[in-house]
Structure 1
Amino acid sequence: MIGLKDALSILDQAELQPDVESVPLSRSYGRILAEDLVSAIEMPPFDKAAMDGYAINSRDKSQQFRVTGVVAAGDFPERAVGAGEAVRIMTGAPVPKGADQVVVREVSEERGGNVYFSSRNAARNICRQGEDVKPGDLILARGTRMGPAETAVAAAIGRGRLQVFRIPRVGILVTGSEIVSPGGSLKPGQIFDSNSTSIRTHLRQMGVDAVFARRVEDDPQCIRNALRNALEESDLVILSGGVSMGDFDYVPDALESLGVRLHFTRVTIKPGKPTVFGSHEKGFVFGLPGNPVSAFVVFEIMIRPFLYRMMGHVYRPRTVAVPMADTWRRSKVRRTTFLPVRLESGRAVIPDYHGSAHIFALPGADGLLEIPAGVKQLSAKEEVYVRLLGS
């Protein structure tokens, strides 16, 4: 058994070489950039009006200005603004030559072909050419995850296609003769499979669709055959169940018989102690405990960061510092413990929680609270750090 810090170190040191592909910008949401995105243009590409109003020369002290034209966004004025002249201009439109100020519509009155200003101040109301971005500026770094803001700036500098890291092929295997797919009916001793659904939803949250999700009986040959196929079809296999020390936990032996090198098989965490991680020449394997909260927690603290690394992204979960709502105690302190937490009125509230099988404690949880090994009590009002889920 190894500590959580050592397990995470092993995951961080695994050699990964993600492939690269080109995708249209319209399909880049959620993908990880495989290139530094550098601008080839200036932004704005011209001096443009920041407000609706009238473009004039700020040094012109005329009491009235003759309106010589209108410039809308998308136009490009060919005539310069002369003395005693103004051009009606719309937000985003190019500023005519000879003008260096836009007087806003709110202080303007146009009549008889002239415009009069009730007041003028020093505000220029012009976005200068190149004030946001210049050619050669780094817009987005390699490894950036593309979201709405990132796709917007890529579009703003004219990129129609992007180099991104290929999404790994991830397969899911759920072991257990007692497992039944949702929608079926239960016989005595059976339970519905929630883990494959949970894992698949975690993956979709990351922009990954599982290439398969299969259920396997608790039979050593069936498990070995399913694993052999899964290893061939996937870059990452995520198993649930069959990894502990029971009479029907065949997964670790089956993995080793197929040439998988097991880097760890137990970790000093709660829940999730019987967690397995292995590698082979074509990819990687995680074996998760069958209890649903264990599988959920291990995905969050181990698989999510590792899979993002496979996608070329350094994952940094968001945390918030909040006081404990109530005092929490435990009697056994040998393992690092993770608890579901709700954030209520700026405080960390630990819901009614019965242990690693109590999946009904997870809905409504905002994050996970990590209690290090050796810590016996968290006092009310004590500041703690909550790791936000799916961040």
Structure 2
Amino acid sequence: MISVTEAKQIIRANIRALPSSLVNLADAGNSVLAENIYAAVDIPAFDQSNVDGYAIRFSEKDITLDIDGEITAGSEIIKSLSKKKAIRIFTGAPAPEGADTIVMQENTAAANNTLTINDPALSKGMNLRPRGTDIRKDELALEEGTLLTPAAIGYLAAVGSAKVNIYRPPALTLIITGNELAQPGLPLRTGQVYDSGSFALKSALQLHGIRSPEILHCQDDPHELTLALRHALSESDMVILTGGVSVGEYDFVSQAAENCGVTKLFHRVKQRPGKPLYFGMKDDKPIFGLPGNPSSILTCMYVYVSLALNMYLHKKESLYQPAILKNAYRKTAGLTHFMKGMYNAGYVEILTGQESYRMSSFAKSNCLVILPETETEFKPGYQTQVHLL
């Protein structure tokens, strides 16, 4: 049995980046850029009005001006501004040649096709967006390694990018084992429980951009499980199994992995929940075996599977935050405990209902409270770390 730190080190040492993938910009949200992006155009692409108002020469602001037509957003004709004239203009419209200032309509008076300006604060260049002030054509827009937030996606669209290369998530197969599992919505027979773990796991994977993993359901049968794992390894970059990793007579994951030529790198970690966690490699493909209890599945997903996925995706590791413990807790030495908790403004409370089968407390938590392996007593005020969910 190895420590949590050792388990993480082994995972980090074995995950290899996948080739980048060219995708439509609209599908690239929350991914990481695998290339530098350069602007295809100037932004703005022309001198542009920032407000609804009138385009003028600043030197003529104190005289009455004749109104000479209008320019709307989307206009393809660039007009010229004659002397002693003003042109009605709308937000986003191209400024006429010769104009150096836009005066807001609220600070004007228009009558009989003439314009008087009443704006003591008006200055030359006001309300005018000069061409290329955000970025010039061929300048670097975003660097490789940038996380594509909604703002970044919008910015890349603005500079003319339709497709981008991203670090893609692995093709992934989930293998759900257990004779006792029934699908939600069906009546439960004696001895059955609803399959909550795979639903929680699939939802967590969606946060990493994995929206449609292949999902296989297996009975507790070594031959069936071996066939399923062999298929998954042929089709996927990564495999996650749930259940069947303990030491019971019907726990067959380790045997199936050996049958498929998987090299076991660890099996059992000094932690609670999730002690029987399995990790192995087949060539460059990682295989995780998660314990079957719902809280164990989700804890191991957050702590270990997310670590591997973030490496594939070139993202930072999950967010760990220092926190001050609000309530006391005691545990035995020898295991790191990941406790369901509620974090707020630098303080964290360990919730009740910590057993690995109980999801009610997990559903209300916003973090995992990390209690170190060697320590046993934790008093209010103890400085710990939390893994924000």
- When normalised by structure 2's length, the TM-score is 0.89
Which consecutive residues of structure 2, in runs of 5 or more, have no partner in the other structure? Answer: none
Provide the residue aligned with 2:156 in structure 1.
154
Residue aligning to 2:190: 188
Q: Does the 8 Å contact 2:310/2:317 carry over to 1?
A: no
Measure the CA separation in 1 of the matches of 2:136 and 2:68: 32
What are the superposed Cα offsets for residues 207-243 of structure 1, whole Å, 9 maximum, x if unpaired?
A: 2134432232223333223222222222111011111
Mean Cα displacement is larger for which, 315-324 or 144-153? 315-324
What is the CA-CA distance between 1:361 and the residue it aligns to? 1.2
Change (3 A) 1:119 1:184: closer
Deviation at 1:108, TM superposition (A): 0.9
Query: Partners in 1 of 2:323 and 2:211 — Cα distance?
Result: 34
On the 8 A contact 1:62/1:84 being kept in 2, the answer is no
Q: Given residue 63 of structure 1, which amino acid in structure 2 is its aligned partner?
A: I
Check conservation: 2:181, 2:194, Cα contact below 8 A. yes
- 1:351-390 CA-to-partner distances (Å, cap 9, x unmatched) read 222321111211122222222333445544566554332x
| 257, 263, 268: which one aligns with 2:270 | 268
In the alignment, what sits opposite 2:202?
200
Structure-1 residue corresponding to 2:282: 280
Percent of pairs with identical residues:
30
Residue 143 to residue 344, structure 1, CA distance change in 2 (3 Å): closer
Counterparts in 2 of 1:1-391, with a 5 A limit? 1-76=1-76, 78-123=78-123, 124-281=126-283, 283-310=285-312, 312-319=313-320, 323-324=324-325, 326-343=326-343, 347-380=347-380, 385-389=385-389
Q: Give the superposition deviation at 1:346.
A: 7.2
The change in CA–CA distance for 1:292 and 1:155 in structure 2 (over 3 A counts) is: same
Structure 1 unmatched runs, 5+:
none
Aligned partners of 2:129 and 2:269: how far apart in 1? Answer: 56
User: Given that residues 218 and 248 in structure 1 are in contact (C-alpha distance below 8 angstroms), is that contact kept between their aligned partners in structure 2?
Assistant: yes
3-state SS of 1:338 partner: strand
CA distance in 2 between counterparts of 1:43 and 1:304 reads 38
Residue deviations 1:91-143 (CA, integer Å, cap 9, x gap): 11122222221111111111122111222324511222222112333333334
Which residue identity does 1:66 align to in structure 2? D
Partner SS, residue 110 of structure 2: strand
Q: Judge conservation of contact 1:170–1:209 (CA < 8 Å) in 2.
A: no
How many angstroms apart in 2 are the aligned matches of 1:138 and 1:13? Answer: 33
Give the distance between the partners of 1:209 and 1:79, measured in 2 at CA: 50
Greater alpha carbon shift after TM alignment, 117-126 vs 359-368? 117-126
Gap change, CA 1:97 and 1:254, over 3 Å in 2: same
| Alignment CA distance shift 1:59-1:162 (3 Å) | same
SS in structure 2 at match of 1:254: helix
Letter in 2 for 1:275: L
Whole-angstrom distance in 1 between the partners of 2:317 and 2:141: 20
Seen in structure 2, the aligned counterparts of structure 1 residues 297 and 56 have a Cα distance that, compared at 3 Å, is same
TM-score of the pair, normalised by structure 1:
0.89
CA-based RMSD of the aligned residues comes to: 2.5
Residue-by-residue CA offset, 1:44-101 (whole Å, 9 max, x unaligned): 1222111111222223353322222212112255443344322221111122222221
Contact 2:29 2:149 in 1 (8 A): yes
- Give the Cα–Cα distance (whole angstroms) in 2 for the partners of residues 51 and 13 of structure 1: 55
Distance in 2 (alpha carbons) for counterparts of 1:68 and 1:386: 65
SS in 2 for 1:134: coil
Number of paired residues?
Answer: 387
